[in-house]
Amino acid sequence: MLKKRSFWESLIIIVILFSIIEIFLEDLSIIRHWGVHARKILLITGFLFDLIFTIEFIIRSVLAGKNKGWVSYFRYEKGWVDFVCSIPLIVFNSGPIMLGMFFPGHIVALPFLGLLNILKITKILRIARVLRLLRILKIFMKASREESELRMKQVSLITSITVLTITFILIISPLFPGLFYSQDLNIDKQKDKYVSIIREWHLNLGLSDTDKVEKLEYLLKKDHNILYMYHMGETVINNIGMPGTTPAMIVPGKFLYTDFKVLNYLDFILWYSVKDVLIDNAKVNFLIEIIIIVLLAAFLAFYKPAVK
């Protein structure tokens, strides 16, 4: 039994380490402009890791309920760490991402994703995967029989400090949109910019002001984020390929569904990239993840067990 448990815990440690590597690769794939195929593989891998930890948490909860009690597992054995690193991630992060990836026009998936974008917590929720490092700490502490009580107290301290740090970041992030998670804010600004240009374009079309319309067309053409633009069924701007190509022919091969937006306004249909915003967001993710890992490493490196 002990051998089976040791094997399972060793396997969990390996899976945790690979899941942490996947987190960094996911952000790096955005920052370094990796191809759509590679990014899809990383997203699917992240979903599978979340699924593994969700199933493991459910199994542990069921077994705890049959033995010493679910409350004891959740509270005293830090089962809540297992919970935070599993179910919320698959429900609010990787699950919706999979729906959006494989069913981009699904009637449920896209409104659900839009709802999640309103919740500030979802902007940093994926970083909670880094908390899986606490699972490794918990396993190591349980494996040592000497000073077990003192070590468990230390686990509680490290866990509390780490979670408080992340909670603090969650609380203050909306107060500093330029420093923390400005993704929604910047995407909204980008959309407002294009709406303003299209509104003026439409107005000057009605006034038959050709010069003004040409200036506005030039303004959009030089914007590297503009992919394609229709007006009344005719192509006005095509920055995605040869003449005669359409967004449906080109965009899916070059962009994930999260990388672009479609604006339908005043008989204009505009396809535009939001990759610049996603790259800035990924850089912030990367920085916060490193900070959390450094904090955990520092706690482990300098911790001293309390003296009885």
Q: Using a cut of 0.75, tell me whether the model's pTM lies above it.
A: yes
Q: What is the dihedral of CA 194, 269, 256, 280, to 10 degrees?
A: 0
Where residue 147 falls (left for φ over 0; alpha for ψ -120 to 50; beta otherwise) is left
- 272 Ramachandran zone, left/alpha/beta (phi>0; psi -120 to 50): beta
Give the model's pLDDT for residue 165.
66
Between the alpha carbon of residue 36 and those of residues 40, 43, 151, 285, 308, the distances in Å are 6, 10, 45, 20, 56
Give CA–CA dist 56/127, Å, rounded: 20
- Which residues, including other chains, have CB under 8 Å from residue 228's CB and lie 6 or more apart? 235, 237, 238, 239, 240, 246, 247, 251, 270, 271
Whole-number Å distance between alpha carbons of 50 and 85? 8
Closest CA to 169 of 1, 287, 47: 287
- Where the chain has pLDDT below 50, the residues are 106-120, 145-147, 306-308
**What is the model's pLDDT at position 145?**
47
Strand-pairing partners, residue 264, are 269
Tell me how far apart the alpha carbons of residues 270 and 255 are, in angstroms, rounded to a whole number.
15
| 3-state secondary structure at position 254 | helix
| H or E element in which residue 33 lies | none
Q: Are 170 and 121 in contact (CB under 8 A)?
A: yes
Phi/psi for 25 (5° steps) reads: -65, -35
pLDDT computed for residue 288 by the predictor: 78
The alpha carbon of 142 is separated from its chain's Cα centroid by a whole number of angstroms, namely: 31
Instruction: Describe the crossing of helices 183-206 and 275-302 by its angle, rounded to 10 degrees.
Output: 170
What are the Cα distances from residue 237, in Å, to 61, 245, 269?
56, 11, 10
**What are the start-end ranges of the H helices in 67-147?**
70-75, 79-84, 87-89, 95-102, 109-118, 122-125, 132-143
- The label of the residue with tokens 């593989």 reads 41
